[in-house]
């Protein structure tokens, strides 16, 4: 059925409510809009759903959410796990509570219990909750840091991580098998409650989550010693982080935590932000203004579902606030944790440090310094969570730390996804530790660069929307595969890694070997002079992303080299 036929079916089918059909009829003269909404089903991928909110098969709405949930319910029933239930959380985005209830009531209509948080909660708390409640699966309604018009739906499995192989493809197949919206079940919420199928999660679970975070503290006594002197500015970007961040910092003993008032309350329109993303410097405008007023030591921001953390810290020499990339904050936490654990005899003999393939190579140096095993995984924190499961099942390693370049990390194993709440806690504790030594976090970051090398990484994303955009993104990847580069500017390609075809090629010798990782549409290039670059289409946005990394002799040299390599990669792609 073509997009126009599908559109007409939605306009006429009484399964869709009157408001939906009326709104769709209002765009009858706009064929381009109809095509964009109906040219495909909103894809349920390995990360679940993510898309623009609206009516149509290629949009986030109660019908596409119900269809995805029906597929998940069918899979859970086939697994014989319907009696264990599903935990559900949601963030501050538009329609998030409605989508959460839509998912819960679909599960309920299939005889599966749902455990739903009474109000918005961070994504990592959902990961904790489903393990705490012994659920078979979990759902988070969020679009993370996407623009306000987006929402999304992520599925977690019983280990607490997002779904990975083979469960991901099995669930995807079940969702694809639901071809008729009339087959998607639902029921009345009062009836579901009366039957014991719809359950509201109690506030005592928040207590258990915060208690689990506090167990990760290493220098609690030291916090109290410097609590009068350290000042923290924090913004939740109108999202889920406000309550848990303030609570954990207060309970640890921090006294001067200033929350950006304009961004404190939940707001699905993110009215004070162009883009609720801690990677965007403009998003810190209000926080940095408050930091200067309060003379804060550090400035922190969590994204709407509080799984990613952005950081600024004062430079002692200049008094300016310096921004940290996700790689930098990850390395700062890693160096603090591993050094302190080693000093206190808490470092495991079989400790493991996990990073993604597009994250900084400084991690390799830190892992070697503390004699912990470094493991590299595909992009996506679910693969880090999966490693924790493997450690437990195979009794191989003890998890020490894991991070990805996109501002996400996990301290501890209470959750199996990145957790900005525990990252805030770790960074604030590190700030207190270095404050006791008359240093800021920026001062310590310079020390880390001096110790391991001036590693610097960057990213360029090209947005290509719609049918044409998807074709252009595919063409770029095809070009890189069919005409593999020998160099990017002054950097020679030493080895290529094609994760889609599971092949690494050493250019000097022609030797080939396996990537050792699951299949993924990613191309990676090891370059001369300790540099690298990588290309991958985004799994959640209409973008293709290019990652670059270099090693310089100073901050200035690193900046110059990264800019040169970025220009060289873009020139090759656009040629």
What percent of the chain shows pLDDT beyond 90?
Answer: 93
In this structure, the answer to whether residues 54 and 197 fall within a common structural domain is yes
Whether residue 158 is found in the same domain as residue 280? no
List Cα–Cα distances, 107 to 74, 86, 185, 529, 564, in angstroms: 9, 8, 8, 54, 52
Could you say which of 414, 433, 451 is where a domain stops?
451
Residue 484 shares a structural domain with residue 362: no
Residues 12 and 121 reside in one and the same domain: no
- State pLDDT tens for residues 74-112: 999 999 999 999 999 999 999 999 999 999 999 999 999
As a whole number of angstroms, the distance between CA 480 and CA 472 comes to 13
* pLDDT tens string 42-80: 989 878 999 999 999 999 999 999 999 999 999 999 999
Task: For the chain, give the longest Cα–Cα distance.
Answer: 70
Reading the block at residue 488, the tokens are 């990017």
Q: What is the pLDDT of residues 302-351, one digit of tens each?
A: 999 999 999 999 998 999 999 999 999 999 999 999 999 999 999 999 99
4/49 same-domain check:
no
Find the DSSP H helices in 166-284.
Answer: 167-177, 189-194, 204-214, 220-226, 242-252
pLDDT at 504: 96
User: Contact, 520 vs 497, CB < 8 A?
Assistant: no
Residues 201 and 234 in one domain: no
**Rounded Cα distance, 511 and 507, in Å:** 7
CA–CA separation, 155 and 387 (whole Å): 18
In a domain, 500, yes or no: yes
Q: Do 519 and 511 meet the contact criterion of CB atoms below 8 Å apart?
A: no
Is the CB of residue 322 less than 8 Å from the CB of residue 440? Answer: no
- What percent of the chain is predicted at pLDDT more than 70? 100
3-state secondary structure 2-22: CHHHHHHHHHHCCCCCHHHHH
Q: Structure tokens of 251?
A: 């309970």
Cross-strand bridge partners of residue 249:
none
The residue assigned the tokens 């660069």 is 449
Comparing C-alpha atoms, which of 210, 41, 205, 213 is closest to residue 117?
A: 205
Q: Are 119 and 261 contained in the same domain?
A: no
Look-up: residue for tokens 């806690």? 425
Q: Are residues 20 and 62 in the same domain?
A: no
The predicted structure's pLDDT at residue 542: 82
- The residue from 163, 179, 208 where one domain ends is 208
Q: What is the pLDDT of residue 470?
A: 85
Res 214: pLDDT: 98
Residue 565 lies in a domain: yes
H or E stretch covering 140: strand 137-141
Say if residue 540's pLDDT is above 70.
no
d(CA 442, CA 444) in angstroms, rounded, equals: 5
- What is the band of 39 on the pLDDT scale with cuts at 50, 70, 90? very high
pLDDT tens-place string over residues 202-248: 999 999 999 999 999 999 999 999 999 999 999 999 999 999 999 99
Mean pLDDT of the region 415-440: 97
Active site residue 528: no
Given this model, what pLDDT does residue 541 score? 73
Number of domains composing the chain = 4
Contact indicator for 147, 32 with CB cutoff of 8 Å: no
Q: 217 lies in a domain?
A: no
Is 464 found in the same domain as 555?
A: yes
Model confidence at 264: pLDDT above 90: yes
As given in the structure block, the two tokens for residue 369 are: 């310094």
Coil, helix or strand at residue 473 = helix
Q: What's the CA gap between 98 and 307, in Å, rounded? A: 22
506 is a domain residue: yes
H-assigned helices in 137-219:
167-177, 189-194, 204-214
State the average pLDDT for the chain.
Answer: 96
Query: What value does the mean pLDDT take over residues 372-380?
Result: 96
pTM, whole model, 2 decimals? 0.95
Sheet of strand 150-157: strand arrangement:
49-52, 150-157, 137-141, 86-90, 114-116, 198-200
216 domain residue, yes or no: no
Last residue of a domain, one of 451, 479, 508: 451
Q: Are residues 8 and 89 in the same domain?
A: no
Alpha-carbon distance of 312 to 304, in angstroms, equals 18
CATH of the domain at 464: 3.30.310.50
Q: Is-contact 351 372, C-beta < 8 A?
A: yes
**CATH number of the domain enclosing 188:** 3.40.120.10
Q: Tell me if 524 is assigned to some domain.
A: yes
Give per-residue pLDDT as tens, 496-534. 999 999 999 999 999 999 999 999 999 999 999 999 999
Question: Using N-to-C axis directions, what is the helix angle for 441-452 and 420-435, rounded to 10°?
Answer: 90
Give the Cα separation of 240 and 244 in Å (integer).
Answer: 8
At residue 66, the pLDDT reads: 98
Tell me if 511 is assigned to some domain: yes
> Domain limits at 10?
1-39
> pLDDT confidence of 484, banded at 50, 70, 90?
confident
The whole-angstrom separation of Cα 357 and Cα 389 is 19
Same domain, 330 and 352: yes
Position 538 confidence tier, pLDDT thresholds 50, 70, 90: confident
In a domain, residue 488? The reply is: yes
Structure confidence by residue, pLDDT tens digits, 547-556: 999 999 999 9
Over range 144-171, report the average pLDDT: 95
- The answer on 120 and 23 residing in a single domain is no
Residue with tokens 């808490």: 346
Residue 282 predicted with pLDDT over 80 = yes
CA separation, residue 534 to residues 45, 232, 355, 486, 562 (Å) = 21, 36, 15, 14, 14
Catalytic residue among 144, 217, 359, 520: 144
């Amino acid at each position: 059925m073509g997009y126009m036929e599908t559109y007409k079916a939605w306009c006429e089918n009484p399964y869709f409510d009157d408001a939906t059909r009326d709104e769709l009829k209002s765009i009858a003269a706009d064929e381009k809009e109809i095509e964009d909404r109906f040219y495909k089903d909103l894809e349920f991928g390995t990360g679940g759903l993510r898309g623009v909110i609206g009516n149509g098969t290629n949009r986030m709405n109660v019908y596409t959410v119900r269809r995805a949930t029906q597929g998940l319910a069918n899979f859970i029933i086939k697994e014989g796990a319907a009696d264990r239930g599903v935990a559900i959380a949601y963030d501050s985005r538009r329609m998030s509570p409605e989508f959460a209830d839509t998912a819960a009531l679909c599960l309920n209509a299939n005889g599966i219990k749902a455990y739903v948080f009474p109000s918005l909660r961070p994504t990592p708390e959902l990961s904790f909750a489903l393990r705490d409640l012994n659920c078979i699966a979990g759902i988070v309604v969020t679009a993370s840091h996407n623009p306000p018009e987006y929402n999304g739906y992520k599925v977690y499995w019983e280990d607490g991580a997002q779904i990975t192989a083979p469960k991901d493809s099995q669930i995807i197949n079940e969702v694809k098998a639901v071809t008729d919206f009339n087959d998607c079940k639902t029921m009345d919420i009062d009836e579901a409650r009366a039957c014991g199928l719809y359950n509201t999660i109690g506030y005592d679970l928040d207590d258990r989550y915060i208690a689990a975070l506090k167990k990760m503290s290493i220098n609690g006594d030291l916090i109290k010693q410097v609590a009068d002197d350290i000042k923290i500015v924090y913004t939740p970007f109108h999202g889920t982080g406000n309550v848990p961040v303030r609570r954990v910092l207060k309970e640890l003993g921090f006294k001067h935590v200033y929350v950006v008032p304009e961004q404190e309350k939940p707001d699905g329109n993110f009215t004070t932000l162009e883009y609720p993303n801690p990677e965007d410097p403009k998003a810190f405008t209000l926080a940095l203004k408050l930091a200067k007023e309060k003379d804060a030591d550090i400035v922190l921001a969590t994204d709407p579902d509080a799984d990613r953390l952005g950081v600024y810290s004062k430079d002692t020499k200049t008094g300016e606030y310096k921004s940290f990339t996700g790689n930098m904050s990850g390395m700062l936490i890693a160096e603090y944790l591993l050094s302190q654990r080693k000093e206190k005899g808490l470092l495991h003999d079989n400790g493991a440090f996990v990073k993604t393939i597009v994250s900084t190579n400084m991690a390799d140096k830190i892992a070697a310094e503390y004699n912990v095993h470094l493991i590299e995984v595909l992009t996506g924190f679910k693969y880090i969570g999966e490693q924790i499961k493997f450690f437990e099942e195979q009794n191989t390693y003890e998890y020490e730390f894991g991070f990805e370049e996109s501002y996400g990390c996990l301290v501890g194993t209470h959750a199996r996804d990145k957790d900005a709440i525990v990252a805030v806690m770790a960074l604030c504790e590190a700030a207190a530790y270095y404050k006791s030594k008359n240093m800021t976090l920026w001062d310590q970051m310079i020390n880390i660069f001096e110790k391991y090398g001036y590693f610097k990484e960057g990213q360029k994303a090209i947005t290509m929307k719609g049918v044409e955009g998807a074709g252009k993104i595919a063409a770029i990847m095809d070009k890189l595969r069919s005409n593999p580069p020998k160099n990017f500017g002054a950097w020679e390609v030493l080895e290529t890694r094609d994760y889609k075809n599971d092949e690494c090629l050493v250019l000097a010798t022609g030797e080939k070997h396996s990537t050792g990782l699951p299949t993924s549409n990613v191309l990676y290039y090891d370059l001369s002079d300790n540099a690298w670059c990588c290309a991958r289409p985004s799994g959640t946005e209409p973008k293709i992303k290019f990652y670059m990394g270099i090693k310089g002799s100073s901050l200035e040299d690193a900046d110059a080299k990264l800019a040169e390599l970025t220009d060289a990669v873009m020139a090759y792609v656009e040629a």
